[in-house]
Amino acid sequence: MQELDPNVLSKALTWLNGNYDADTKAEIQRLIDTNATTEITDSFYRDLEFGTGGLRGIMGVGSNRINKYTIGAATQGLANFLKKTYPGEKIAVAIAHDSRNNSDVFANITADVFSANGIHVYFFRELRPTPELSYAVRRLKCKSGVMLTASHNPKEYNGYKAYGEDGGQFVSPYDKAVMDEVSAIASVDDIKFERIATNFEIIGEEIDHEYIAKITELSVSPDAIERQKDLSIVYSPIHGTGITLVPPALYSFGFRNVTVVKEQETPDGNFPTVVYPNPEEKEALTLALKKAAEIDADLVLATDPDADRVGIAVKNTENEFILLNGNQTGSLLINYLLTAWEEKGKLTGKEYIVKTIVTSNLIEAIATAKNVTYYNTLTGFKYIGQLMTQFEGKQTFIGGGEESYGYLVGELVRDKDAVVSAAFISEMTAFYKDKGSSLFEAMIDMYLEYGFYKEKLISITKKGKTGAEEIKAMMEKFRTNPPATLGGSKVVTVKDYERRIETDIASKTTSAIELPESDVLQFVTGDGSIISARPSGTEPKIKFYCSVNGKLASKEAYQQTDAELDAKIDNIIKDLGV
């Protein structure tokens, strides 16, 4: 049996002998008695840290798990940060939770700690989507907000998304400042768990109605929706919070033929009908696709448990439903928005769009052609939100997104929003149908005009402490010995976002990368392919993003060109050796 690290054992014993509840202590004792070395190590070898999505982990006992005490410590640290940042001011926070097991319990613990620290809590009465929490922070003039969710992770996970006063997740230096405050909590005894009822206020439907009214005002093509109001839409919330707002939003936009997948309508943290509640996975859309085939729907929508991501399926030219990936949907959405704004004469030169560095460059090509400013940010929607706050009142944000199925239209929130995205994807479908085109045909037309871009994500899971070390070693290998060729094309540029250096391979010259430091590597080849390597900030994974492109000569050449680009991606993956 593997010997237990003394530091890990020391931390476990601190919990065993500290002011923790009896159930927690009994579980720690059981792990020790049964020599569960790996489990003890994974539970105590580190403290949970904020990644691109905040605090996220497997539920259970220990400093590296989501539980009453890690949630409490995070909240106490955040409360201390807020009191130091806003001395003498009245501080309010908004709290919401998703459908995951214990999310409601953790939300109440979060409220307890904030209220015990003299902070006013606006508490959503029932589960609500993440984007509505972001909206509420801004609307209620809160200094912060917390969403209890692990987004699309498996059912064993939960998490804690912390928001600043702009409704966006904390970015540097504030994220580090919050974690410094959390780290400064030396003992569980430093956490105030006793709720002060006078600092607790329930919110609910009034925010729902206002939020839906506001996003409906953003609609660009209500005339097309009116003509296509019977567009057949199948929607699945995958047992999550989307059921509370997506159907009402679609109705408010004018859609009258929405079918909800009954088997996945009820919120349930066990996600009984899917392996993973992730709209990026085909398996999660099985029931929705079955229903869509039954009723010959035009569009399939599915949102993740906290309704910040949306996956879609559309009919191809053979009338078969196919799933679109996040790059395809994001590119279509930006192309539609810019086209519709252009047709309505709304483009003034002050508008902009945003994407992340691992999201398709097709979006850049579209924006350039439409003469609309675009920006690239690091991975994580908090960076898009940061840019929106920076430009608020000076430029107009039309839309933006990231390849991981997260998009935003309009400036009401500072996070990805599957509610407004579902409404606008439906509007986009109606817009093209009104012109005699399907969404799939619109995608091919987009490729004809701007180039055929194709992307694929390779995600490798490496769990626990050992896995984290393996991921670190993989990144170091690529950093010190970058590939010379990928997919038969020479690597001409290497971008190291951790060192913030871009290197031209031929001339060996370097230039500075202006974005903040991040553990990402990008290899750009002579034929325009871009391959990015990045450890996930929220999951035990290393991700490789492959993007290739070519010219689409005609609609008839779509399948052949698609196959050629697939082959190029396969060769790149082979060359990467992953």
Q: Which residues contact 133 (CB under 8 A, 6 or more apart)?
A: 94, 95, 96, 124, 145, 146, 147, 163
Bridging pattern class, strands 299-303 and 321-324: unpaired
What lies within 8 Å, CB to CB, of 305 at 6+ separation is 98, 99, 100, 149, 150, 151, 152, 238, 239, 240, 241, 271, 277
User: How far from each other are the two terminal CA atoms of the chain, in whole angstroms?
Assistant: 30
Helix (H) or strand (E) holding 571: helix 558-576
Sheet holding 157-163, edge to edge: 55-58, 157-163, 144-148, 92-97, 120-124, 200-203
Of residues 43, 134, 144, 151, which has the active-site annotation?
151
Q: Which of 467, 423, 474, 171 is nearest to 307 (CA)?
A: 423
* DSSP annotation string for 224-263: HHHHTTT--EEEE-TTSTHHHHHHHHHHHHT---EEE-GG
Contacts of 567 (CB under 8 A, 6+ apart): none
Q: Is 134 a catalytic residue?
A: no
What does the alpha-carbon distance between residue 56 and residue 51 come to, in Å, rounded to a whole number?
8
Residues 45, 62: Cα–Cα separation, whole Å: 9
3-state secondary structure of 314: strand
Active site residues: 151
